[in-house]
């Protein structure tokens, strides 16, 4: 990252707190390294490839590998296990991959966060799914939507994080819907729901390098 030879940090194949912690550290040290999904098949996961995914926005919808890679590099993407999706995420109408993926404010103020989210949870979870919800975060499967299920409902929390802290929260539904579909497979349909105007949050100007974050990162590698 220091010498601009790292394009992205892989994720979804190890515990989420480990992966997101190092990513937040790099951001707060002033770097703009992107996050990408990975399975690490068959070393970490032996079931199949595609457990960790990165979805990239291509304006014309035509898939091309070089343009797809450029989309990851620019940040026009999001990471998921495939059972939840974050579409058209915007802050003050600025989307990831636009303006360097940064919203620059001249002073502390408020921002408007909007997104479309989709999630899929079975109405009657299996015994394995119920067991996942109680497992420690350092046990497989690391990134799994069942960990986010609210009680016995099909709802999941949707949160806005600032420096790792939840500052705004709402709920999304993980139920099937047959009228509007974002993704359809032979075995599932995923609801597309609109979350307009997540609670407005206070925001400090810019992500700036922080000496404390840099010192902490240095101590970890010494």
Residue scoring higher pLDDT (90 or 110): 90
Answer with the residue of higher pLDDT: 215 or 118: 118
Strands 181-185 and 8-11: unpaired
CA atoms of 10 and 209, how far apart (whole Å) = 22
Q: Cα–Cα distance between 202 and 160 in angstroms, integer?
A: 11
Please list the residues that pair with 79 across neighbouring strands.
54
Query: Which of the given ranges, 22-31, 39-48, 90-99, 185-194, has the highest pLDDT on average?
Result: 90-99
3-state DSSP assignment of residue 1? coil
Task: Identify the pLDDT of residue 200.
Answer: 38
What's the pLDDT at 182?
Answer: 36
Rounded Cα gap, residues 178 and 193, in angstroms: 12
Angstrom distance (rounded) from CA 84 to CA 106: 34
Task: Please give the average per-residue pLDDT across 32-53, as a whole number.
Answer: 81
Residue ranges per structural domain of the chain? 1-80, 83-207
pLDDT digits (tens, 9 = 90+) for 112-163: 888 888 888 898 999 999 999 999 999 989 989 999 999 989 888 888 877 6
What is the DSSP code (8-state) at residue 29? T
């Amino acid at each position: 990252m220091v010498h601009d030879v790292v394009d992205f940090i892989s994720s979804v194949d190890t515990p989420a707190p480990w992966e997101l912690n190092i990513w937040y550290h790099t951001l707060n040290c002033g770097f703009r390294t992107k996050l990408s999904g990975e399975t690490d098949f068959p070393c970490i996961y032996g079931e199949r490839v595609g457990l960790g995914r990165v979805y990239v926005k291509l304006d014309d919808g035509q898939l091309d590998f070089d343009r797809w890679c450029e989309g990851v590099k620019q940040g026009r993407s999001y990471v998921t296990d495939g059972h939840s999706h974050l579409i058209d995420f915007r802050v003050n109408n600025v989307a990831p991959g636009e303006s360097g993926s940064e919203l620059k404010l001249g002073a502390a103020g408020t921002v408007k966060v909007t997104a479309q989210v989709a999630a899929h949870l079975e109405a009657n979870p299996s015994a394995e799914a119920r067991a996942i919800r109680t497992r420690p975060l350092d046990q497989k499967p690391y990134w799994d939507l069942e960990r986010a299920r609210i009680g016995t409902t099909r709802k999941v929390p949707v949160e806005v994080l600032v420096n790792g802290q939840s500052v705004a929260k709402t709920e999304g539904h993980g139920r099937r819907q047959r009228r509007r579909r974002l993704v359809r497979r032979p075995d599932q349909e995923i609801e597309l729901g609109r979350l307009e105007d997540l609670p407005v949050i206070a925001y400090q100007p810019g992500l700036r390098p922080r000496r404390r974050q840099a010192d902490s990162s240095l101590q970890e590698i010494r």
